Amino acid sequence: MTIVVRFPPSPTGFMHIGNARTALFNWLYAKHHGGKFLLRIEDTDRERSTPEAVEVILQGLQWLGMDWDNKNYPGRNYYSQFAERERHAAVAQQLLTEGKAYYCYCSPEELEAMRAEQKAKGQPMRYDGRWRDRSASEAPAGVNPVIRLKAPLTGETVVRDLVLGEVTVQNTQMDDMVLLRADGTPTYMLAVVVDDHDMGITHVMRGDDHFTNTFRQVQIYKAMGWDVPQFAHFPMILGPDGGKLSKRHGAASVTDFRDQGYLPEALINYLLRLCWAHGDDEIISVEQAIAWFDMDGVGKSAARFDYTKLSSLNAHYIKQRPDRELTQLVQPFLETRLSRALTAAETARLTQAMPDLKPRAQTLLEIADMAKFYFDAQPLDEKAQKLLTPEAKQVLTDLAVRLDTLDDFTTEAVEAACRGYAEEKGLKLGNVAQPLRAAISGSTVSPPIFGAVALIGKDEAQRRLRSAA
Ligand code: GLU
C-alpha cells in the first residue's frame, strides 16, 4: 500500500509554527515510506481565503523545502476544498437518500433555547435529535433545513491513534452533527472526510486539537461505507510560558522566523526535536530525519517553544553553510540595515568577511548587524567612546600614519604594523587593538579587527582612525 498523507491548512494570512510542524511530520512520513504528500487548501471561508493568504502557505512550504506531490489542477497547484463543494453536498444528499441523514428545521432560536435548558439542568449541550424521525410533511414553511447525520445511538466509536493509542467514545456522547448548512455549504466535518476519502489519504496526521473531531469523522466514514484511514495526533506546541504560542512570543508564524534570520534547516531540526526523538540526537539533518522518522518517536505531551535552543541550532547551521550562500542570504538584511544596495565589490567583501562573521552569530540578522561596519562607518557607541582616552586617540593618530607605510594591505601586514607599534611604545597589544576596534567598528566587540581593517581598505581605515582621533 502506498502511503498518502495530506497537509490541509486553512488560509488565515499566516502559517503558524504548529502548522509547519504538522506539515513536516506528514512530509517526513511520506518521504520515509516512499509515499505521497498532498497539499489541500481548506479555502471554504471565502472572506479569509484570499490569494495572498494562500500564497503565504505555499511560500512557507517552499521556504522549508517541503514539496508536495499534487500540483495539477485547473489554474492552481493544490487541491482546493472550496472547488469540491458540490461533491460535499452530493455526499450529504446521498446519506439523506440512504436514510443515514435527515433534514433538521430547527431555527437558531430553538437551538439556543434547547442549549439553555440543557445548561440549566447541568446536562451536556447536545442536539437532542428532535427532527431525526419527523417526516418532511411537518417541515415549517420558508425554513431552509440543515442536513444532520443520523449517528448511531448505541455502541461505541473506537479510534486507534498511532500516537495516542486506542480511545473509545460511547456513541451516546455524540449528537447528530450538521453535515450541510442551511445555505448548502458543507461543514468542516463533512468536507474533511469527503476530501480525505477522495484524495485517497491513508494516514490523517494532525495536531491533537483535532482529536475529538476524529470520532465524528469516523462516523461519517462508516455511514458512507468508506475505509477509515489511520490517525495520528501530535501534541500542541506551546509558547515558552506554557500558553498558546502566539505573536506575543516574538514569532509564531513561519515567515516571522524567516524574517528574523533563521535558516529553514534549523527550524526544521528544531521542530523535529520538539515533538519527536531519536535517542539523544539533537542535530539531525533532513536526510537523517527522512531515514529515521516514524510514529514511535513522537511524544505525547505538549512541548514548549524554546527560542534559546532554536538559536543555538541556527548558529550551528549557519556555520555549516558555505560563505557564498550566507552572503546571498545576509545581503538583503544588510542592505535594509544600510539603507542602500551593495556594489559587486562589496558583495565580494561580505563573502571574504564571512569566515569571521559566521562563528559569532546566531541569526542572519546578527550577521548583518555585525557586518555593517565593513561597509559604512558606524557611530561610536558609548563604550567605544569611553575607551577613546587622550592616550588612545594618540594611538589612533599614530596608527593612521603607520598604515600609510603598508604597501600590502593584508591582515598579516596590519597585524604586524600594530604589533610593531605596540612594542616600540611599550604598550600591550590590547591597548592598541582596542582603540583600533572602537574607531573602525564603532564598538568594543567585533569580529577579528586586523582582518576587518584589511577588508575595509587603507583609505577608509585611515579616515575612520583620524575621525575618531
Ligand atoms: N484546516 C484544518 C486546520 O488547519 C485541518 C484539520 C485537519 O487536518 O483535519 O486545522
Residue given cell 597589544 in the structure block: 429
Looking at residue 136, its pLDDT comes to 80
Q: Which residues pair with 37 in a beta bridge?
A: 5
Q: What is the grid cell recorded at 415?
A: 597585524
In a mutational test of the pocket of ligand 1, which residue from 42, 189, 221 has the highest number of ligand atoms less than 8 Å from its CB? Answer: 42
Mean pLDDT of the chain: 96
User: Who contacts 154 (Cβ-Cβ below 8 Å, separation ≥6)?
Assistant: 171, 172
Percent of the chain clearing pLDDT 70 (strictly above): 100
Looking at residue 238, its pLDDT comes to 92
Q: How many CB atoms lie within 10 A of CB 71?
A: 12
Nearest atom within ligand 1 for CA of residue 204? 8
Q: How many CB atoms lie within 10 A of CB 398?
A: 16
Q: Could you give the CA distance from residue 32 to residue 296 in angstroms, rounded to a whole number?
A: 13
User: Who contacts 446 (Cβ-Cβ below 8 Å, separation ≥6)?
Assistant: 370, 373, 437, 440, 452
Q: Could you give the CA distance from residue 142 to residue 229 in angstroms, rounded to a whole number?
A: 40
pLDDT at position 106 over 80: yes
Tell how far the Cα of 92 is from the centroid of ligand 1, in angstroms.
Answer: 20
Question: What's the CA angle centered on 308, arms 307 and 310, to 5 degrees?
Answer: 65
Percent of the chain clearing pLDDT 90 (strictly above): 93
Q: CA neighbours within 13 Å on the CB side: how many for 155?
A: 7
Looking at residue 393, its pLDDT comes to 97
The arithmetic mean of pLDDT across residues 352-367, rounded, is 98
The arithmetic mean of pLDDT across residues 76-87, rounded, is 97
Residue whose CA is at the smallest distance from ligand 1 atom 4: 9
Q: Could you give the CA distance from residue 245 to residue 274 in angstroms, rounded to a whole number?
A: 14
Looking at residue 248, its pLDDT comes to 84
Residue 375, Cβ density class (10 Å: 0-12 exposed, 13-18 middle, ≥19 buried) = buried
- Residue 114: which pLDDT band, with cuts at 50, 70 and 90? very high
In a mutational test of the pocket of ligand 1, which residue from 210, 215, 237 has the highest number of ligand atoms less than 8 Å from its CB? Answer: 210
Residue whose CA is at the smallest distance from ligand 1 atom 6: 8
**Chain segment 233-289, per-residue pLDDT in tens:** 999 999 999 988 888 887 789 999 999 999 999 999 999 999 999 999 999 999 999
More confident residue, 242 or 361: 361
Measured in degrees and rounded to the nearest 5, phi and psi for residue 253 equal -110, 150
**Chain segment 442-467, per-residue pLDDT in tens:** 999 999 999 999 999 999 999 999 99
Pocket of ligand 1 (CB under 6 A): 8-10, 42, 192, 206, 210
**Chain segment 48-69, per-residue pLDDT in tens:** 999 999 999 999 999 999 999 9
The question of whether 358 is a catalytic residue gets the answer no
Do the Cβ atoms of 19 and 236 come closer than 8 Å? Answer: no
Looking at residue 244, its pLDDT comes to 87
Nearest atom within ligand 1 for CA of residue 22? 8
**Chain segment 116-168, per-residue pLDDT in tens:** 999 999 998 999 999 999 988 899 988 999 999 999 999 999 999 999 999 99
* Annotated active-site residue in 71, 119, 247, 386: 247
Tell how far the Cα of 343 is from the centroid of ligand 1, in angstroms.
Answer: 46
Q: What is the grid cell recorded at 168?
A: 473509545
Q: Could you give the CA distance from residue 293 to residue 276 in angstroms, rounded to a whole number?
A: 8
Tell how far the Cα of 8 is from the centroid of ligand 1, in angstroms.
Answer: 5
**Chain segment 224-241, per-residue pLDDT in tens:** 999 999 999 999 999 999
pLDDT at position 367 over 80: yes
pTM over 0.75? The answer is yes
Nearest atom within ligand 1 for CA of residue 6? 8
Residue type, 14: F
Do the Cβ atoms of 179 and 92 come closer than 8 Å? Answer: yes
Q: What is the dihedral of CA 326, 332, 335, 337, to 10 degrees?
A: -90
CA 284 to chain centre: 17
Q: Could you give the CA distance from residue 234 to residue 68 in angstroms, rounded to a whole number?
A: 20
Tell how far the Cα of 465 is from the centroid of ligand 1, in angstroms.
Answer: 60
Tell how far the Cα of 10 is from the centroid of ligand 1, in angstroms.
Answer: 7
The arithmetic mean of pLDDT across residues 362-389, rounded, is 97
Looking at residue 127, its pLDDT comes to 95
Q: Could you give the CA distance from residue 82 to residue 91 in angstroms, rounded to a whole number?
A: 15
Looking at residue 250, its pLDDT comes to 78
**Chain segment 65-81, per-residue pLDDT in tens:** 999 999 999 999 999 99
Q: Could you give the CA distance from residue 221 to residue 225 in angstroms, rounded to a whole number?
A: 6
